[in-house]
Homo-oligomer: A and B are copies of this chain.
Amino acid sequence: MNPTLAQLWERKSVRVFLDRPVDDATRNEIIDAAIQAPSAGNQNLYAIIDVRDQAVKDELAELCDHQPFIATAPVLWVFLADCRRWLGAYQEAGLKPRAPGPGDLLIAYADALVAAQNAVVAAHSLGLGSCYIGDILENRERVAALLNLDDYTVPAAMLVMGWPTEHQLKRPKPPRPARGDLVSVDRYRRRQGRELRASIVARESGAAASFDYDGWMRAFCERKYESDFAREMNRSAAAYLRPFME
């Protein structure tokens, strides 16, 4: 395995950081590697907000499902799908472009995520830990007011970064599914009940014979899929999508 592959295998999410700042040179190395990412038509349909103001960090920690570690992370970046910038560039040329639609949004969303993942890979190569915060999709109205978003700029990813604690470095990486759970040939193969059960058991039980699939799944579903934050995320995402659907 080459060193880059080894780093992709090693990298795990880090949520606890040393109380040690990340200097501007290091931040810029990561941002510049992110900007080298591929993008649709080389249009770079994203923007990055580098959140430095402690009051904004505190507010984001609250708005992202009340997670205090967000406020104390040395680096906090929001990657936006930006369907506004090129619209402005077209208008500057005297053009009257159509309003962005849902396809434009999804393409911009992809650009933002691809750049964000380059940032994650770059950060890991420099010894920095990182974590995606999906909760940035919640509370559209307050997040948009806080970050000065408009109808055509939508958060696609939030990343926190910092120097990992010793404990975080030693924490085992949670196991990923087997290749066969995710890959199918030529067509999507919909997994059925028993197969899904077997793959979760294999991954979560550590081969313990006593693993209670139904109980584990009920608790997981309540904590994640049927949670208040998931409902809020769906409400908020619908609000972000609405201007693109008109």
* A→B interface (CB under 8 Å): 1-5, 7-9, 11-13, 28-29, 31-33, 35-38, 40-44, 46-53, 56, 80, 84-86, 88-95, 97-98, 101-107, 109-110, 113-114, 116-118, 120-122, 124-126, 131-132, 134, 137-138, 146-150, 153, 156-157, 174, 176-177, 179, 181-194, 196-197, 200, 213-214, 217-218, 221, 224-226, 230, 233-238, 241, 245
Contact B183 A50 (CB under 8 A): yes
Contact B35 A122 (CB under 8 A): no
Identify A86's interface contact among B33, B107, B225, B238, CB under 8 A.
Answer: B225
Considering the complex, give the chain B residue whose CB is closest to the CB of A175. Answer: B42
Contact B33 A8 (CB under 8 A): yes
Contact A47 B122 (CB under 8 A): no
Q: How far is the CA of A31 from the CA of B9 in the complex (A)?
A: 11
Considering the complex, give the chain B residue whose CB is closest to the CB of A131. Answer: B38
Q: What is the oligomeric copy number?
A: 2
Contact A92 B147 (CB under 8 A): no
Most buried by B among A56, A132, A197, A226: A132
Jot down 28 A-B pairs with beta carbons below 8 A, ordered by A.
A3-B4, A4-B121, A5-B29, A5-B122, A5-B126, A8-B33, A11-B38, A31-B183, A35-B179, A44-B177, A48-B182, A48-B184, A49-B184, A49-B188, A50-B183, A50-B185, A51-B185, A89-B217, A92-B193, A95-B217, A97-B221, A103-B236, A107-B233, A146-B187, A148-B188, A148-B189, A153-B188, A238-B245
